[in-house]
Structure 1
């Protein structure tokens, strides 16, 4: 008997001011498999669309949107509409081609046949799980910052890792490195673990469920030579002291998930924690910061 396709729905948040985009994008990423952003240049506002199963947890969606409203100070109106399930994955696959990022990385969806790559580090991801797929400018900025590092890290931490793409990129680029990826969503942890296996990194990378830096593996382990945090500006500021405490002297932190207009706020918080700005990458409207902890 042919399996019936899942019932899907589209979630739409329209006419968002730029400052509210990171919070609401994060909210929809927490409850959806794929999220897309569109800018209306005429009105200078943003539209966020997400697709998920129609019968998914409604309480989780309500909670995520309420948190986004509290963080951003803007209450968005959610629109919902059914979407045809058949053909949706095919359209997702078509919209997620193999892509080159920066000078070193190649994001390869699972539907693309493997091939020899020269001068590129391939990272294999599932087209049906778009968060952390490399398409978002924040992820791209982090990978571009990573390829610019000259000091080889031994211990890598990725806080709020999503698909695990950043920690995997570091583990593949620096073959002696050991990486720890964390996320607060059990679903994200499962997806990242699958990606770790698919990329042959089980011996050098671990994925755990953790809230920020609150886990024994982080508190009692070695100081980290490289820390990724691709989350949101306010949580970045709130966790700046923890980041500084767990970053080894001379280590680097790569921060993203913030708008260019929020960079100063994030920098001030991390300067208080003993870090200095080494590099800034702008992929408008998003910004990636590379910070250094002096000895």
Structure 2
């Protein structure tokens, strides 16, 4: 990282959440900052329509790229400081909310340690947005008075999981797992072993708020097979708890612009009818 130019007034870094993916769900503050920024450092999770709306000469991709390559967090931190010290107005654009499994907290600490001014711009996290547009409330007076947000993709360097699945199973509230499609067999098994009823409803919401959104539903016991049969893939949110069962009563009347493709369970039904 280059030495700071002491003659240049440092710019501000804006840690901006892009929301769940739909450009219309960006906050007004986020839109204004994106329009005014000298440079935008973005991940892959912001919706493609949001990224493509930015001029190519004012955006840098610091997310995961083809071949599994990704920009190390240390390099992102250093780049933010470098640009700010050059007097730039910098937007660090993240999927969802910057402080919900977005590593925004780490970047804020790094910026503060290097005396770089920053602002946090909250956004709608996919943890509540994806279930909502699928007709699933994460809390409900009759079904759940608490909700727990869990990452399904922990730091691989951790010696053991920091998620206490036994405690979560005992709470009786809703569990929302982000980035957990691949590890679905692991944590559903952990919840069953912890005593969660095998008929507990589960929903998978793929590409929530984006074109082609799909929803697949099942139970703790069946959801892995449902995932495989429907070919649900990331990005997807897992909702575990009685609230997931409420979708059935509202799905026929739910209207949004996201389900360009039919729900996964509806597609499966249509395929069966066609085979008969």
TM-score (norm 2): 0.36
Q: Please identify the structure whose Cα radius of gyration is greater.
A: 2
* Bigger RCO (CA 8 Å, 6+ sep): 2
Q: Which structure's residues are more often strand, by fraction?
A: 1
Query: Is the helix fraction higher in 1 or 2?
Result: 2
